[in-house]
Chains A and B, each alone.
Chain A
Amino acid sequence: MATAIESPNGNREGAGTREALYDWVADWGAAVTDAISALGDLVVFSSRTMSWLLTRLPRRGTILPNFYQVGVLSLPVVALTGTFIGMVLAVQSYSQFRMLSLETRLGAVINMSLVRELGPVLAATMLAGRVGSAMAAELGTMRVTEQIDALASMGANPLHYLVVPRFLACMFLIPTLTVMADFMGVVGGYFYAVGILGIDKQHYWQNSQDFVGMFDVMSGIFKSIFFGAAIAIISCYRGFNCAPGAEGVGRAATASFVFSFVGILVLDLFLGIFLDSLHNSFWPEGTKLF
């Protein structure tokens, strides 16, 4: 930032302040153009991945290891997440419902919140941290050690070889992991509500069944497909565009989680609106959003 040094006349000082202002505006402008350029780059990256997905099957031996990494190894932690969410929901909602003597409705509240929102979003967030950061770090390390260049120099397309299997793994397995999170959440909520709080078992399930429908469960799974795709694309992109050195790899891993999480939240909002409108158009009841 240029500023005028000792200046005898006011003109020089004025010019200095003006320059400082220009620099400030230019910095903001550069930040905005960089962000837009990065977003554009991400879109190009995604569309190239999609076109590779559609043109050729992934290399044999790349699918199973990725499916194992993303799916099987994430199962325990996702199950744990789901269980605790269910229990926490029970803990938090109980006192309010008890005041209205509606504690038997707890089943409906817990399970509805779980399958529609908390199951998909929190499972995806957990996976953005576990799987997304790992993918970004692994691909980032490959980038800084020139392994990605080596792949390209030997006539293998890095997107096809590295990104497509990870994308498929996330897109197929994150929904199944969401189902696991939902299931364990239901179990956890039931355990706490019925087992510890002493709510009547029959009413708990009956209310849950009355309120929670197939559409609710499917909408949660539908959202989780998009969450999975977003995690894969964002994490792989950050890995591929890693800055040099260990610092670059660390930043790629962190940034992949942060941006995946933001992506999940944004997608959650828009998909929620879309699904809500869809539901209302098929089953027009209650207040419409639009």
Chain B
Amino acid sequence: MVTLSSHSSSATEPLVQAVDLRVHFGNQPVLRDVSLNVQRGESLAIIGESGCGKTVLLKTIIGLIQPEQGAVWFDGTNLLTLNEMALTQQRIRFGFVFQNAALFDSMTIGQNVAFPLRQHRKLSDADIQEIVLSRLAEVGLPPSVVAKKPAELSGGMRKRVGLARALAMDPELMLYDEPTTGLDPIMSDVINELMLNTSRRHAVTSIIVTHDMRTARKVANRVIMMLPLARLGESDAQVVFDGPPDELDNSRDPRVLQFVRGEAHERLLEMGRPRT
């Protein structure tokens, strides 16, 4: 598979372009001059330790968080300049799978998956039911689940419903926020397989935020690693790796190797000692 990096001279424009994003929460900077290009059809994994801003980056791309500076271009349109109506039209083209699925508690599973369809399409109840059942079947859930409430399902099942809901509108771009966090190893692999299936079956572009290296290696064809600003100097770049997953082990950057191998090293010494 041809791997694409942000520096390749591609004839087609990237589907997603984030340019020099700066995001603060109050006085706390989270993203500093982060730029990212994602080509159509790519499966990009964003990895990094907790607090490095990967979820914030994902949410900024879709417009859930407004950056202080910078722009996000989706298919040639600057999302930050759009009004409410136009942004809604663009959002139909994304599917976002939240870390804890974010299903609506007051609705049944069927109503959850049908929600985007009822919001944006004028379809008969029968048609909606058909689409809902087919999406649930795609993620391996039986029709009996339709009448249940989210609280009655296990974590893994809720994640899969979240995936089905995100796929309901046949999006072009899928965004996953820590899809395997909190799941057992078998269920994690089920989710990995579902993500792979999704990108093949629906020809979607995927951006996956994860700190699970297995997911990154299995599902992605390109990996970006970020570091939290607290661990960087004033002029250091926040993105410290950008390339295919196999090159992770060959990286010269010790920080990348430490993360990829999951080694504590000097971090143990940091604990129990107040930061200066």
The residues of A with any CB-CB pair to B shorter than 8 Å are 141, 145-147, 149-150, 152-157
Which of A147, A156, A157 meets B102, CB within 8 Å?
A147
Q: 9 nearest interchain CB pairs?
A: A150-B102, A153-B96, A146-B102, A155-B88, A155-B91, A154-B116, A146-B98, A155-B92, A147-B102
Contact B100 A149 (CB under 8 A): no
Contact B104 A154 (CB under 8 A): no
* Given A149-B59, A149-B64; A154-B91 close (CB under 8 Å): yes
Chain B contact-residue range equals 20 to 34
Task: Give the CA-CA distance A146 to B64 in the complex, in Å.
Answer: 11
What would be 26 A-B contacts, judged by CB atoms less than 8 Å apart?
A: A141-B105, A145-B102, A146-B98, A146-B102, A149-B59, A149-B98, A150-B102, A150-B104, A152-B63, A153-B62, A153-B64, A153-B91, A153-B96, A154-B91, A154-B115, A154-B116, A154-B119, A155-B88, A155-B92, A155-B116, A155-B119, A155-B120, A156-B88, A156-B115, A156-B119, A157-B84
Task: Give the CA-CA distance A146 to B162 in the complex, in Å.
Answer: 12
CB 8 Å contact bits of B56-89 with A (1 = contact, 0 = none):
0001001110000000000000000000100011
Query: Which chain B residues border A153 with CB–CB below 8 Å?
Result: 62, 64, 91, 94, 96
Q: How far is the CB of A63 from chain B (nearest CB, A)?
A: 15
Q: How far is the CB of B4 from chain A (nearest CB, A)?
A: 26
Which of B89, B91, B105, B169 meets A152, CB within 8 Å?
B91
Query: Which chain A residues border B98 with CB–CB below 8 Å?
Result: 146, 149-150
Task: Give the CA-CA distance A124 to B159 in the complex, in Å.
Answer: 41
Query: Which chain A residues border B103 with CB–CB below 8 Å?
Result: 147, 150
Query: Which chain A residues border B116 with CB–CB below 8 Å?
Result: 154-155
Query: Which chain A residues border B92 with CB–CB below 8 Å?
Result: 155
- Interface residue? B37 (CB, 8 A): no
Query: Which chain A residues border B100 with CB–CB below 8 Å?
Result: 145-146
Query: Which chain A residues border B188 with CB–CB below 8 Å?
Result: none
Query: Which chain A residues border B105 with CB–CB below 8 Å?
Result: 141, 145, 147
Q: How far is the CB of B109 from chain A (nearest CB, A)?
A: 14
CB 8 Å contact bits of B97-120 with A (1 = contact, 0 = none):
011101111000000000110011
